[in-house]
Amino acid sequence: MTAQGWFAGVDPDDAAAAGDAVRTGRANAPEDWPALAVEAGAADDEDEYYALLHEATLAGTRAAVRERESADDQQLIHAVRAMGDLAEAANELAERGTEWAGSVLDDVGSGVDGAREVASRDPATPSERQAISLCRRAADLGDERDAVRSYVEQQAPAVAPNLSMLAGPVLAARLIALAGGLGELAKQPSGTLQVLGAEDALFAHLRGHAPSPKHGAIYTHEYVRGTHPSERGSAARALAGKLTIAARIDHYAGDRRPDLQADLDERIERIRARDSS
């Protein structure tokens, strides 16, 4: 049987097709591919072969990057990061807008809700017009943040059904974003997942300047935040352990396992009972 390289059946001028051939092709054993390419008429000489191979590998890499970026978990990462950016921008702009509005208008509230109320008013002076306009921009950013949050709440259960069931969609998406993807999260031990989001505190601990953090982003979960401080570390470990299992099932299997929730509920109940005994 004649050995065939990536160039077999591919138009050398079609970089996309050549890139796909490089990404998906395989050979049973090494061969003198430049010589075979010349023999097959795919290249005039060895230099042209390597030039074509260079273009093919670049095209294959670009395709691989596009494919990864379009993956569902990557879209979720973009969304949860955008949600955080929008929340920060909305809060900062609302603070500035309501402070300005409070200097020229009566009964001005604070935060994005206060900006929304100011945004509904009609200006009577140039100063009021600018302050109200600023509050409208803050309200728009708040609305966009809410829209992105709704997207996350809808998409996270489809991307990571078990992780979303245990953590809630927003925390699930945040953990995926902190890890860099669902696959990356599934590969991490539970102890690492437990402190995701607490990197600054962890580095301070490693430098000997602070105690070891007991939790990171998972602190926002009611099972950690709502547990007595004396048992909060145990609750964080129990939650992280189940979330790690959930992430692995989501990545490698994809089916929903309701028993995970029951097991976690029972474990947290036992931990909290220790504090009351």
Q: Tell me, what CATH number does 268's domain have?
A: 1.10.246.90
For residues 247 and 173, membership in a common domain is answered with yes
Residues 164 and 254 in one domain: yes
Do 225 and 181 belong together in one domain?
A: yes
Question: Residue 86 has what pLDDT?
Answer: 97
- C-alpha 142/C-alpha 131 separation (Å) is 17
Q: pLDDT of 104-141, one tens digit each? A: 999 999 999 999 999 999 999 999 999 999 999 999 99
Tens digits of per-residue pLDDT, 21-69?
A: 766 666 666 667 777 777 777 777 888 878 877 777 776 666 665 555 4
Please check whether residue 211 is in contact with residue 229, taking contact to mean a CB–CB distance below 8 angstroms: no
What pLDDT is recorded for position 157?
A: 95
Kindly report, residue by residue over 155-211, the tens digit of the pLDDT.
999 999 999 999 999 999 999 999 999 999 999 999 999 999 976 766 665 677 666
Give a three-class secondary structure readout of 104-128: CCCCCCCHHHHHHHHHCCCCCCHHH
CB distance 224 to 218 below 8 Å:
yes
The per-residue DSSP string of 12-27 comes to: TT-HHHHHHHHHH---
- The answer on 226 and 150 residing in a single domain is no
Count of Cβ atoms closer than 10 Å to residue 273 Cβ:
10
Residue 9 lies in a domain: no
Assess if residue 179 is contained within a domain. yes
On whether both 245 and 256 belong to a single domain, the answer is yes
DSSP 6: T
The domain in which residue 150 lies consists of 72-156
**DSSP class of 243:** H
Cα three-residue angle 67-69-73, rounded to 5 degrees: 110
Looking at 125, 156, 187, the residue that finishes a domain is 156
Number of domains in the chain: 3
Cβ proximity of 64 and 158 under 8 Å: no
pLDDT of res. 33: 73
Is the domain of 210 the same as that of 270?
yes
